[in-house]
Amino acid sequence: MINCSSPSSQYKKYQSEIEKSVIGVMRSDNFVLGKEVLKIEKNFAKYIGVSNAIGVANGTDAIEIALRSLEIGIGDEVITVSHTAVATVSAIESCGANPVLLDIDPNFYTLDHSQLDEVITSRTKAIIVVHIYGQAADLNSIEKFCQKNKIFLIEDVSQAHGAKYHGKRLGSIGKIGCFSCYPTKNLGAIGDAGLLTTNDEKLNKKIRMIREYGWENRVSHLPGRNSRLDEVQAAVLNVKLKYLDKDNEIRSKIAKKYFEAFNELPLTLPKIRPNAQHVFHQFVIQVENRKDFISYLNDKGIFPGIHYPIPIHSQPAYKNRISVGEIMTVSERLSKNIVSLPVYPELLKSEINEIIDAILSYFKR
């Protein structure tokens, strides 16, 4: 059986290092916000190319805390996309702000910046740009829009650890970068974990306070919450960060095999944005009759994913309740046809060939 992702396979690849690191935590006297957290914060900041990284409990908290640190809350509006994980929108609402959802561009599936002028208001305080599937959104255009309108640019980099845009790591370009380190991510823990990045020293201090009750010297100076990164997750991330670029390179090599094998098939392959490095968190294709396609692969022991089957604005919790751009054509069409093929770096050569052969045989029927 070949699943869309396999966190246990990566654990097994680095098992001895991970277990040694985790046992070291268990034998220590500090299980939360200790030396392993300080280490991942230092190393991740260096890796991304920023002055500060801050560990938090998960990626959703990372976005919420980013917004709170920018004093975005009740009555404010935050623009993002409908084609994303629900966590992006959930985090906006968790700080009391109102999400405003836009459509995506048809080539790279990221925020369609041409719609921004239609939805900006005096209440708009930020744009959360989602770098989906492993590559950057059109940051040049979006950053210029933010500067012109004096609003904040926040990067949701939860699906693009290590990716670059014009030579810069994602998470180093906006005011704040937010990362989920959920087990299936390119940089994944063995449970929930998250990171924020920023070059702003005042925000760095504020984010650190918010993640732990607004404390400074154990006195709450501003409203905070509990979103501490534990030592076990940080220990795992410290091991895996050393191999992130290597693993991303393997993902790209698998993607290259898919591009070569499927180039002539009647399906839509991913497009890579110019001047951007794609790290293939997902390899997302579009196929007609998706149900039949997935059923065929399932019968051969291959279980792809769908990221995401329903745009957020069409889901019951949000439908007719949150602000939406006038046009959502791409998001709605895409959600009906997309399929995420397995692309994680632990795939065996035989498994990659099995996936390729199954898809080729499907279109030869």
pLDDT band for position 203 (50/70/90)?
very high
Among the CATH numbers 1.20.1440.230, 3.10.180.10, 3.40.640.10, 3.40.718.10, which is that of 2-103+110-241? 3.40.640.10
Q: Would you say residue 6 has pLDDT above 90?
A: yes
pLDDT band for position 227 (50/70/90)?
very high
Q: Would you say residue 161 has pLDDT above 90?
A: yes
Q: Would you say residue 337 has pLDDT above 90?
A: yes
Residue 331, judged by CB atoms within 10 A of its CB (0-12, 13-18, 19+), counts as buried
Mean pLDDT across 192-199: 98
Q: What is residue 93's predicted lDDT score, i.e. its pLDDT?
A: 98
Q: Are domains 2-103+110-241 and 244-363 of this chain identical in fold?
A: no
Q: Would you say residue 263 has pLDDT above 90?
A: yes
Mean pLDDT across 220-244: 97
Dist CA 287 CA 300 (whole Å)? 18
Dist CA 111 CA 101 (whole Å)? 9
pTM of the complete model? 0.97
Q: What is residue 109's predicted lDDT score, i.e. its pLDDT?
A: 98
pLDDT band for position 365 (50/70/90)?
confident
Dist CA 137 CA 177 (whole Å)? 13
Q: Look at 81-90, 181-190, 303-312, 319-328 and tell me which has the smallest mean pLDDT.
A: 319-328
Dump the DSSP string for 39-93.
HHHHHHHHHHT-SEEEEES-HHHHHHHHHHHTT--TT-EEEEESSS-HHHHHHHH
Q: What is residue 18's predicted lDDT score, i.e. its pLDDT?
A: 98
Mean pLDDT across 273-279: 97
pLDDT band for position 266 (50/70/90)?
very high
Mean pLDDT across 172-187: 98
Mean pLDDT across 331-353: 98
Dist CA 129 CA 142 (whole Å)? 8
Task: Compute the mean pLDDT over every residue in the chain, rounded to the nearest whole number.
Answer: 97
Domain spans in the chain, listed from the N-terminal domain onward = 2-103+110-241, 244-363
- Please say whether the beta carbons of 122 and 136 come within 8 A: no
Mean pLDDT across 125-153: 98
* CATH class as words, domain 244-363: alpha beta
Give the residue among 356, 363, 307, 365 at the shortest CA–CA distance from 331: 307
Q: How many helices (H) and strands (E) does the chain have?
A: 13, 17
